[in-house]
Structure 1
Amino acid sequence: MNHKENTIFITGGATGIGRALAHRWHDLGNTVIIAGRRREALEEAVAGRPGMKFYVLDVTNREEIAAVTAQLIAEHPDFNVLVNCAGVSGAEDVTIARDLSHGEKIVETNFLGPVRMIDALVDHLKGRPAAAIVVVSSGTGFVPYPAAPTYSASKAALHSYTLSLRALLRDAVQVIEIVPPQVATDLMAGLKDSPYSVPLEKFADDVMAQLIAHESEDEIIVDEVKPFRFAERDGTVRDLLTAMAEGS
């Protein structure tokens, strides 16, 4: 992915990882458009950043996706990079019968949201030079966090979908997966204060450093997530699962 001269559209760009990356791409001189559900958070994210724009969008709403993506292409015909960063999480106790509505929301946001966004924009992207689709998955897509099983499963599904997409678009659009470790954001209660969370600014800096240094890379793997990303290769999946289950 080129790190300059792009027009980048980022879902989940008002807060957390999406916002941190949006600001860094904007600092590099890219045209950046962010999207999210809350107008107030979007306005705060673009404040003081000339040329940075936003759309209000809930990626679980098919009608909003259709309307916003049509507006995006009409207003920014040179748009060439889609970044899927919108996500929700939450702890669950899957050992008892429970209300499944939040788990269903997680799947619809984290997996079906990117699928629908890609479907709405892939034809446009295939016609653009230096086009890229970026998905933000998670280390828990490789070794699940037992206390958040639906979130972990949604990220595993997203990783699998990304592999297929990359193979099919190999001659038309670069497909990049960013694999975060546990990052100090508001995604889940306690992450900001956990000593195991990577500071958000450090994570964003490390991601951008890799994107700039290795423009042809299709996976961005920071040091802190490597034990999860390569756990199956290293034979450590069971040990990591046991440690997380005992600590949750």
Structure 2
Amino acid sequence: MIGLVLAAGAGRRLRPYTDTLPKALVPVGPAGMEGEPTVLDLTLGNFARIGLTEVAVIVGYRKEAVYARQAALEEKYGLKLTLIDNDKAEEWNNAYSLWCGRDALKDGVILANGDTVHPVSVEETLLAARGGGKKIILALDTVKSLADEEMKVVVGPDGGMTRITKLMDPAEATGEYIGVTLIEGDAAEALGDALKTVWETDPQQFYEHGYQELVDRGFRIDVAPIGDVDWVEIDNHDDLAKGREIACRY
């Protein structure tokens, strides 16, 4: 199993930081200064702590900044990094971005969004949930109060995901998908095909629509509740302030 990070996004709501950096490389240290840890740093650190040795990073917007740091990140975290180019990063949404990493999925991956600050306990929870024929396991926050913007998930009576979308009454949701997934290698072909269907239908779709496409085809996707832990998806400057507060604890 390897790590996989989606780090191709522009993060326009985080300007001026993202004038020159992809969102995954915006500093989340207390001072917000160059040289402080980034979301990518935190994620790679988590992967190293659970024993992974290889990580694929999907890059696009300002990818040269990731290429410039590749060797230093490899040395710092003891990981071999493979960078995968997304040629549509500034035009299309992340269903296509994850599809660009479809070959990496064959190794089995822990996928992490490049804008999610979270503790290593999330990865540990996913690994602990493996087995029993599970092929895809979503990290799910069942504690947080939900609003309109969150990626909401409904879990059926059998424990499998039935619906994932932002466009849902929060009261109907079981919890929020936090942007971290364990994907076994034998799910790679099915997921890759679902993602292709999604982005060919609408290039602006999220990769979570690929999960929904899979479920609609009869594929089971499981969830793993992460408990009461602090995490944040960084979309804007308010999120960034929260991310800096949280990152100091990890």
Same fold (TM over 0.5): no
TM-score normalised to the size of structure 2? Answer: 0.39
More helix by share: 1
Q: Give 1 or 2: higher strand fraction.
A: 2
**TM-score computed with the length of structure 1 as normaliser:** 0.39
Q: Which has the higher contact order (CA 8 A, sep 6+)?
A: 2
